[in-house]
Amino acid sequence: MNFGANPVATLIVTFGLMSLFAVGGANAAIPEMHRIAVDVRHWMTDKQFADIYAISQLSPGPNVLIVTLIGYSVAGVAGALAATLAMCVPTAALAYYVSRLLTRTSQSRWPAIIQAALVPLSIGLMGASGLILAQATDRSLIAALVTSGAALLAFATRLNPFWMLLAGGILGFAGLI
Amino acid sequence: MSLAGFGGVLVWARRGIVDQHRWMTADQFNETFALCHFLPGPNIVNLAMVFGSRIRGIAGGIAAFAGLLVPPMVIITILAALYARYGEIDALRRILAGVSCAAVGLLIAVVLRMMMPLIKQRDVVGVVVLGAVFIAIGVMRLPLQAVLVVAIPLSIVITIFMRRKSPA
């Protein structure tokens, strides 16, 4: 840890700020997490970031827990706790107040307009997440084929995603990727 | 419920809240979800907070928030410790590499699925906004805040303008 400030404080500031810009959920914030963790702070390598994403997908619970993993790798259990709370508490508080506000002022047409405006934005962000993660993981032709295969299967069928993750793991274990 | 949510909690959340316990009607659930979707931050965590507080006030909100986050956090912290300890082992590295390839594929599939309604509605503006954000963040690697400060107001203005022009 070669930055001067307390790493836990850095985590709290980083993710607390990021959460308020995470339009469209945790997957939309992945490019920003990657930029900060890999390019700006050098907390981890590209490859480690991809590993962490894989772990966060493998374990149960909300996708946002990728920040728990980043926090842990920076500052252990305290970092994990700090990063997760910083990412979740401010927006949960915001959601609580906005929902109370909306139930009082009855139906307004603003939510619909804002939502229509934000949906393409958040899809664009998630697409960027896919691109950045693909660049970090797909270092070989076979790896790229596994990614496209999983994308096609998940897009065209209702197969449980778990089986695709498992197949990827088996292929990796066999040394094909 | 948090632990059942494999690869995303939303489906389970809906089943538990609407179908099993009848805490909310389907409409109430959709409305709450839409609200949490345009707010920033992790949608499902926001949903838990809003849902809990509608049922039992602020204490309910905090209970739902903690119930959703704490168990998986414990598990993932254990996984993180294992990764920190054994992450360099060759076999594990290979397995994780394979899993992450598939996981990226799944993410791409979600993006494609979410794009379909825009394409079906021939929403040119939406597709242009989507593409611009994708290039700015994914290819040019610009900071998120800078992109959103420009993109959010622009997108809202265009949306209002388009709705006035063609009340659909």
User: How many Å apart are CA A120 and CA A27, to the nearest integer?
Assistant: 14
What pLDDT is attached to residue A80?
A: 92
Question: Are B111 and A132 within 8 A, CB to CB?
Answer: no
Q: Is the CB of residue B95 less than 8 Å away from at least one CB of chain A?
A: yes
Is B141 or B48 the better-scoring residue by pLDDT?
B141
Same domain, B53 and B2: yes
| Alpha-helix runs per DSSP H in chain B | 10-14, 26-38, 43-86, 90-120, 124-134, 144-165
Query: Can you say whether the dihedral through the CA atoms of B48, A94, B135, B132 is positive or negative?
Result: positive
User: How many Å apart are CA A17 and CA A156, to the nearest integer?
Assistant: 37
Question: Are B156 and A172 within 8 A, CB to CB?
Answer: no
Q: Phi, psi at residue A160, to the nearest 5°?
A: -65, 125
Q: Is the CB of residue A10 less than 8 Å away from at least one CB of chain B?
A: no
Same domain, B77 and B63: yes
pLDDT along chain A (177 residues), means of 10: 68 87 80 92 90 84 85 91 90 83 62 76 87 86 90 85 86 80
CB atoms within 10 A of CB B73: 23
Q: Check residue B167 and report its DSSP letter.
A: -
Question: Are B44 and A153 within 8 A, CB to CB?
Answer: no
Nearest to B130 among A123, A133, A171 (CB): A123
Residue B38 — very low, low, confident or very high, per pLDDT cuts 50/70/90?
A: low
What pLDDT is attached to residue B35?
A: 67
On the question of pLDDT at B23 being above 60, the answer is yes
Query: Average pLDDT of chain B?
Result: 79
User: How many Å apart are CA A44 and CA A69, to the nearest integer?
Assistant: 11
Q: A-chain residues within 8 Å CB-CB of B144?
A: 18, 21, 29, 31-32, 35, 125
DSSP A10-68: HHHHHHHHHHHH-BT-GGGGHHHHHIIIIIIS--S-HHHHHHHHHHHHHSSS-GGGHHH
Same domain, B33 and B54: yes
Size of interface A-B (CB pairs under 8 A): 366
CB atoms within 10 A of CB B109: 21
What pLDDT is attached to residue B3?
A: 45
Same domain, B25 and B8: yes
On the question of pLDDT at B2 being above 50, the answer is no
Same domain, B74 and B111: no
On the question of pLDDT at B143 being above 70, the answer is yes
CB atoms within 10 A of CB B12: 17
User: Which run of H or E residues covers position B124?
Assistant: helix B124-134
Q: Shortest Cα distance from B19 to chain A (angstroms)?
A: 20
Q: B-chain residues within 8 Å CB-CB of A95?
A: 35-36, 39, 41, 46-47, 49-50
Q: Are the C-beta atoms of residues B39 and A19 closer than 8 Å to each other?
A: no
What pLDDT is attached to residue A177?
A: 65
Same domain, B129 and B104: no
Same domain, B1 and B81: yes
On the question of pLDDT at B29 being above 80, the answer is no
On the question of pLDDT at B61 being above 60, the answer is yes
Residue of B86, B101, B112 for testing the chain A interface, max A β-carbons within 10 Å = B101
Q: Shortest Cα distance from A4 to chain B (angstroms)?
A: 23
Q: Shortest Cα distance from B165 to chain A (angstroms)?
A: 14
Q: Phi, psi at residue B40, to the nearest 5°?
A: -75, 165
Q: A-chain residues within 8 Å CB-CB of B143?
A: 32, 35
In chain A, which among 137-156 make CB contacts under 8 A with chain B?
137-138, 143-144, 146-155
| Helix, coil or strand: residue A158 | coil
What pLDDT is attached to residue B166?
A: 62
On the question of pLDDT at B11 being above 60, the answer is no
Is A154 or B21 the better-scoring residue by pLDDT?
A154
Question: For the residues B43-71, what does the mean pLDDT come to?
Answer: 79
Q: Is the CB of residue A69 less than 8 Å away from at least one CB of chain B?
A: yes
Q: Phi, psi at residue A23, to the nearest 5°?
A: -70, 120
What pLDDT is attached to residue B34?
A: 66
Same domain, B146 and B71: no
User: In total, how many domains does chain B have?
Assistant: 3
Question: Are B158 and A117 within 8 A, CB to CB?
Answer: yes
Q: Domain range for residue B140?
A: 123-168
Q: Check residue B116 and report its DSSP letter.
A: H
What pLDDT is attached to residue A103?
A: 64
Task: Kindly state the tokens that stand for A72.
Answer: 């842990």
On the question of pLDDT at B135 being above 90, the answer is yes
Same domain, B77 and B10: yes
Least confident of A7-16, B36-45, B84-93: B36-45
Same domain, B2 and B50: yes
Same domain, B62 and B112: no
Question: For the residues B29-50, what does the mean pLDDT come to?
Answer: 72
User: How many Å apart are CA A48 and CA A54, to the nearest integer?
Assistant: 10
